[in-house]
Structure 1
Amino acid sequence: MDDEDVDVAIGDGLLVALFESEGAALVHMARWYVDDKTAAEDLVQEAFIRLARHAHRLRDRTKATAYLRVIVVNLARDHNRRGFVSLRHRPPAEPYEASAEDHAVDRAARDEVIAALRGLPTRQRECISLHYYYDLGVAEIASALGLSENSVKTHLRRGRKSLSETLDGSR
């Protein structure tokens, strides 16, 4: 087995572990950006394919999850801007069926929060979802989105204010 085969084996093991530990969470995150569950799954699959192509370049394996998040966010942005060619040519997805876990959550409140989040400007929505859903700090969000830490703080503050006004006003 030469060095290249060792890198591929290490990359495959990393990918399997990442998929098992982060796959569902990445699909859930992608759903914040796209309405179609199948499209969200496709975006995550594409993110893993792209990571697989470049796993040998990953110097710090502990940052692979953050790298995947960035890929998913960027793919979702691209999808919303112009869509993937492969996604345009497939039949519409089956309507999303809520799982038993989804039914356990208060649907009305959840839908209200999601609608309020989708009403935010893109940067605010990204910062809010990465901060609260993934529990990322300001520095990590800044790195993931290519923004300054002060910009992230501003987007978080404005997003919180807008969410507060929207959610308090609807009650």
Structure 2
Amino acid sequence: MTLEDLYRQHRMRLVRLAILLVDDPATAEDVVQEAFTGLHRNWGGLRDGAAAVGYLRTAVVNGSRSVLRRRKTAREYQPPHLTTARSAESLAMLTAEHQAVVSALGQLPPRQREVLVLRYYGGLSEQEIAESTGISRGTVKSTASRALDALQKVLKG
């Protein structure tokens, strides 16, 4: 049996398997193609045709798992918080008091700044802030309290 024969006989079955695992026909096709590419690279080391089918099935399952892991990682990725300088135009439009508060917020630690911004500018509840930032509700309360104290000190000093 040649690689071409295996491709003709088993490709669609393997694609259906991959579709059930990754839930996307195009990705399933890619996974199966990668499996056949791997088989081609290892063609000389195979015992028989039955071993080739087993190799392909295992490669499709492992390839599907890799796709799902990459999807999960991509969904969970949060880019690092980048602080950007405010433009001169936006600062000119702010009142002097507002400018002082924005400047003072920039001096707070990131978590404190996030909690205050979400609470007072975003209008979120403590529970919503906890869910958004991945911290407990109690931590939101204590962080907000400390942040307000620190903000007050910065504004007075």
The TM-score bracket by the shorter chain reads 0.3 to 0.5
TM-score by length of 1: 0.41
Pair member with larger Rg = 2
Q: Relative contact order, CA 8 A, sep 6+: which one is greater?
A: 1
